[in-house]
Amino acid sequence: MKNFKRSAAVLGVVATASVALAACSEGGEGGELIGEGASSQQNAMDYFGTKFSETGSSLAYNASGSGSGRQNFIGGQADFAGSDSPLKDDQIDPAKDRCGGADAWHLPFVIGPVAIGYNIDGVDNLNLSVENVAKIFKGEITNWNDPAIAEENEGTELPDQDITVVYRSDESGTSDNFQKFLKAAAPDIWETDGQQFPTAVGSGANGSNGVATEVNNTAGAITYVEAGFAHQNDNVEVANIDFGHGPVELGNESVTKALDNLTFETEGNDMVVDSDALFAMDTEGAYPLVLTTYEIVCSDYSGTDKPETAETLKSFLNLALDHQDDELADRGYIPVTGEHADRLKTAVDAIQ
C-alpha cells in the first residue's frame, strides 16, 4: 500500500509562507503573491518553492484551511484562495465585489484522492465497503473484528480492538467532500454534510497533518485524509474501498479512471466539479473518492487595488503547469495531463 506515493493529487500549486514564486516571460519577476487556504495543497510546496525561488518572485501561503482561505480572499487579505470546496452561494457576490466587479473563477489545480487511513497492528491490507466506512464513522461499527468487516477480509486476522475515529476538528473542505461522498455513495446510512464534521463519534485533530499524525500514534485508529499525508506516516495504512465492483486499491490507475469521467457544474473558465456525479460513480476499477481543490482567483484584477497581481499569478500558475513531472509525483501527487491540463492553461492565460 505504501507504493501509492505517486497518487495523492493532480496538482499542487502553492507553497508555504515566504517561499519564492516563479515569473514567466510575460513579466512578474520580483513580484509578491499572497495565498491562503487548504492544507491539502501543502505536500507540493517544497517542490514548487524550489522552482519559484530560482526566479526571484515570492509567495506567502498560509495553510489555514479552506474556510479561512475563502474568507481572506474575499476580504482582500489574500490574492487567491486555496479551497477544497467552491465558494458558498452567499460568497459569490462578495467575491465579485472583491474582484472589482469581475467574476471569481474556480481552477481545480489540485485533485487529490482521499485515503481511508488506519492503524491496525499486523494488518497492512484491509478491504472496506462504502457502507462499512459510513457505519464506522457514524459509530455503528465500533470494533475491528466486527462480522461486517471480517466478511470483507477473509483470511485476515482482525483484532478484538475498539475503533478510534479521528476527524478534522477545524472547518475543512476535506470534511465537506468526505461527507458529500458518504451521502452520495451510502445515502441510507449517512445524512450530514458541511465543512464541520460531526463530533458525536471519535475525536478531532487540526489539519490534514494533524489527523494523520493522530492515527499514526493511536493503535486502532481510522481517519479520512489526503493520501499524501497518510503515506508520510509509517504506522498509517490505506484501505482498499469497494465502491460496488469489488475492492479498489488507491493508486494512479484507479484515480485516473475516475478523473476521466470528471464533469463540471459550471461552464467556461470557472470550473466547479460536479461532486455529486463524481462521488456516486461506480465505474469498475475507479477510485472516485477524490478531493477537488481549487485555486479561487479573480478573472480580472484590473479593478482591484493590486492590478499587478494578474501577471504574477499567471506566472505562478503557468510554471506550476510546466512542472507536472516525476519529481512532483514522487512527492505524492498525480501530474495533470491531457484535456484537463489544456483547460487549466486556457483559464490561466485568460486572467487579466
* 166, part of any domain: yes
Match 506516516 to its residue by C-alpha cell: 233
Judgement on whether residues 226 and 145 belong to the same structural domain of the protein: yes
pLDDT of residue 22: 35
Runs of H (alpha helix) within 218-308: 227-230, 252-259, 275-279
pLDDT of residue 117: 98
* 267, part of any domain: yes
pLDDT of residue 332: 65
Judgement on whether residues 244 and 270 belong to the same structural domain of the protein: no
Judgement on whether residues 241 and 324 belong to the same structural domain of the protein: no
Calculate the alpha carbon distances from 304 to 31, 243, 317 in Å.
Answer: 16, 46, 20
Residue 77 in grid coordinates: 487579505
Match 505504501 to its residue by C-alpha cell: 2
C-beta of residue 22 within 8 angstroms of C-beta of residue 270: no
Q: How many alpha carbons fall within 13 Å on the CB side of residue 15?
A: 24
Q: Per-residue pLDDT tens for 311-336?
A: 999 998 988 898 888 877 767 677 77
Residue 214 sits in which domain range? Answer: 114-256
* 82, part of any domain: yes
Judgement on whether residues 173 and 243 belong to the same structural domain of the protein: yes
Residue 299 in grid coordinates: 478573472
Per run of 10 residues, the mean pLDDT along the chain (length 352 residues) is 40 36 44 86 73 83 90 97 92 98 94 92 97 98 98 97 97 90 96 94 95 98 92 95 96 84 92 93 92 92 97 91 80 75 95 98
* 284, part of any domain: no
Length of the chain: 352
| Domain total of the chain | 2
Question: Residues near 226 by Cβ (< 8 Å), separated by ≥ 6?
Answer: 8, 9, 40, 43, 112, 113, 114, 115, 174, 208, 291
pLDDT of residue 112: 78
Judgement on whether residues 185 and 247 belong to the same structural domain of the protein: yes
pLDDT of residue 15: 36
Q: Per-residue pLDDT tens for 98-137?
A: 999 999 999 998 777 899 999 999 999 999 999 999 999 9
Burial class (CB in 10 A: 0-12, 13-18, 19+), 16: middle
Concatenate the DSSP letters of all residues of 52-86 into one string. HHTTTEEEEEE---HHHHHHHHHTTS-SEEEESSP
CATH of the domain at 233: 3.40.190.10
Concatenate the DSSP letters of all residues of 145-208 into one string. T-HHHHHTSTT----S-B-EEEEE-S--HHHHHHHHHHHHH-TTT----SSSPP-SSSEEESHH
* 238, part of any domain: yes
d(CA 162, CA 139): 11
* 283, part of any domain: no
d(CA 326, CA 333): 9
CA R_g for the chain: 20
Exposed e or buried b per residue across 182-219, where buried means at least 16 C-beta atoms within 10 angstroms of its C-beta: bbbbbeebbeebebbbbeebbebbebbbbbbbbbbebe
Judgement on whether residues 38 and 120 belong to the same structural domain of the protein: no
d(CA 324, CA 340): 12
pLDDT of residue 213: 98
H or E element: which one contains 108? strand 104-118
Judgement on whether residues 61 and 100 belong to the same structural domain of the protein: yes
Judgement on whether residues 230 and 148 belong to the same structural domain of the protein: yes
φ, ψ of residue 167 to 5 degrees: the values are -125, 165
